[in-house]
Amino acid sequence: MYQDWNTLEQACLQCRKCGLCETRTNVVFGVGNENAKVLFIGEGPGENEDLQGEPFVGRGGQLLDKMLAAVDLSREKNIYIANIVKCRPPHNRDPFPEEQEACLNWLRNQVALMKPKIIVCLGRIAAMKLMNPQIKITKEHGVFIERNGVLMMATLHPAALLRNPNNKPAAFEDFLALRKKIDELQLDVAKDYRAVPDSDT
């Protein structure tokens, strides 16, 4: 296990543990506050993320940022965002199980250094890998479970919300539930938000 973020990141950027290293433009290590109490975990980088080296920077990322801002969370100040795999699977396919396994120790090390109180799984792949292989995310999103002293919740992936905008209000309820849980736990996470109408999310 690496003992500090910089050493961990530098090692991760050199990773060649699976075939995804052959086709990547950039390793997408993660972004945000390394001391945050809330960690968001997605599936893997897409095309924009691969080009820019940062998670959730395409249209799905813009939607995620809007929903975060509505409950006074942001990657700039009080959360961290990472992925199950750090390199883009070709054509944005789901990462294979062996690719997830090869990459997972990087994420485990990030979690160990960060010690988050809440982990939010963005989408089916992350929820299945980290919470429950049988999870039905359309039915079980927004529900908190506890694992090793950490609260975990799954929510719908922003890209899925772009494909099915009717699910946006339900997903936003998950973010309101997250904000409520943050406040219940009295975590040191800023609060200055207003209720946002559905049309804005």
AA identity, residue 80: Y
Under 8 Å between Cβ of 167 and 141 = no
Q: DSSP for 25-60? A: SS----EE-TT-SEEEEES---HHHHHHTSSS-SHH
Under 8 Å between Cβ of 169 and 198 = yes
**What's the CA gap between 141 and 178, in Å, rounded?**
11
Joined tokens for residue 157? 């992936």
Please choose, from the candidates 61, 155, 79, the residue with its C-alpha nearest in 3D space to the C-alpha of residue 116. 79
First vs last C-alpha separation in the chain: 39
Residue 2 has what pLDDT? 94
**What's the CA gap between 39 and 90, in Å, rounded?**
26
**What's the CA gap between 82 and 145, in Å, rounded?**
20
- Tell me what the pLDDT averaged over the chain comes to: 94
Joined tokens for residue 142? 């927004």
* Dihedral sign computed on CA atoms, order 80, 64, 191, 172: negative
Phi, psi dihedral angles at 121 (to 5 degrees) = -90, 120
| pLDDT tens, N- to C-terminus, the chain (201 residues) | 899 999 999 999 999 999 999 999 999 999 999 999 999 999 999 999 999 999 999 999 999 999 999 999 999 999 999 999 999 999 999 999 999 999 999 999 999 999 999 999 999 999 999 999 999 999 999 999 999 999 999 999 999 999 999 999 999 999 999 999 999 999 978 765 444 444 444
Helices (H), 95-166: 97-114, 124-130, 137-140, 158-163
